[in-house]
């Protein structure tokens, strides 16, 4: 049993909510993309890049990827908190994961708008 007096800034409710909101957003994106894939008669480079040529699709894709990265942060953080006990190791992994996900975010913009 957790006996804790709630007095501080935040106790995970925000992350709990973001985890679910990002999950719904990713699910909508993936189902939309899968539907488009089934409906599209031919699959080649031209149809693939045409799909990603509109600003709308690029924005939706970036939103999907940013949701994915935040979702991954909450998930990996929870796993690390469960299995990695030494504070120093935990801190190093946390910082590494944050930096990695920030780099992925920059990379995602480059992929979607640099094509």
Partner 1 sequence: MQKNRPKYLNLFRIKLPLPGFVSILHRASGLLLFLALPVLLWMLQASLMSIETFTGLQGYLDHPLLKLLLIGLLWALLHHFFAGLRYLLIDMHKLPGLAGARHSAVWVLLLSLSLTLLLGVKLW
- Among residues 12, 27, 28, 54, the one that binds partner 1 under rule CB under 8 A: 27
When asked if residue 48 is in the footprint of partner 1 (CB under 8 A), the reply is: yes
Using CB under 8 A as the binding rule, the residues of this chain from 69 to 98 that contact partner 1 are 72, 75-76, 79
Residue 39 vs residues 36, 93, 112: alpha-carbon distances, Å? 5, 42, 23
- Among residues 28, 30, 99, 102, the one that binds partner 1 under rule CB under 8 A: 30
Count each helix (H run) and each strand (E run) in the chain, helices first: 4, 0
Shortest Å distance, C-beta 7 to partner 1: 26
Q: Are 101 and 65 in contact (CB under 8 A)?
A: no
Binding piece for partner 1, criterion CB under 8 A, among 6-14, 18-26, 86-94: 18-26
Got the DSSP string for 44-84?
A: SHHHHHHHTTSHHHHHHHHHHHHHHHHHHHHHHHHHHHHH-
Site of interaction with partner 1 (CB under 8 A): 20, 23-24, 27, 30, 45, 48-49, 52, 72, 75-76, 79, 104, 107-108, 111-112, 114-115
């Amino acid at each position: 049993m957790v006996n804790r007096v709630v007095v501080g800034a935040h106790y995970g409710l925000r992350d709990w909510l973001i985890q679910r909101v990002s999950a719904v957003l990713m699910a909508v994106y993936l189902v939309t993309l899968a539907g488009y894939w089934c409906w599209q008669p031919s699959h080649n480079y031209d149809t693939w890049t045409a799909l990603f040529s509109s600003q709308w699709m690029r924005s939706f894709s970036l939103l999907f990827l940013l949701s994915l990265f935040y979702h991954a942060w909450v998930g990996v953080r929870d796993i690390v908190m469960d299995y990695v006990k030494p504070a120093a190791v935990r801190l190093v992994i946390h910082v590494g994961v944050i930096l990695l996900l920030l780099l992925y975010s920059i990379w995602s913009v480059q992929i979607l708008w640099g094509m």
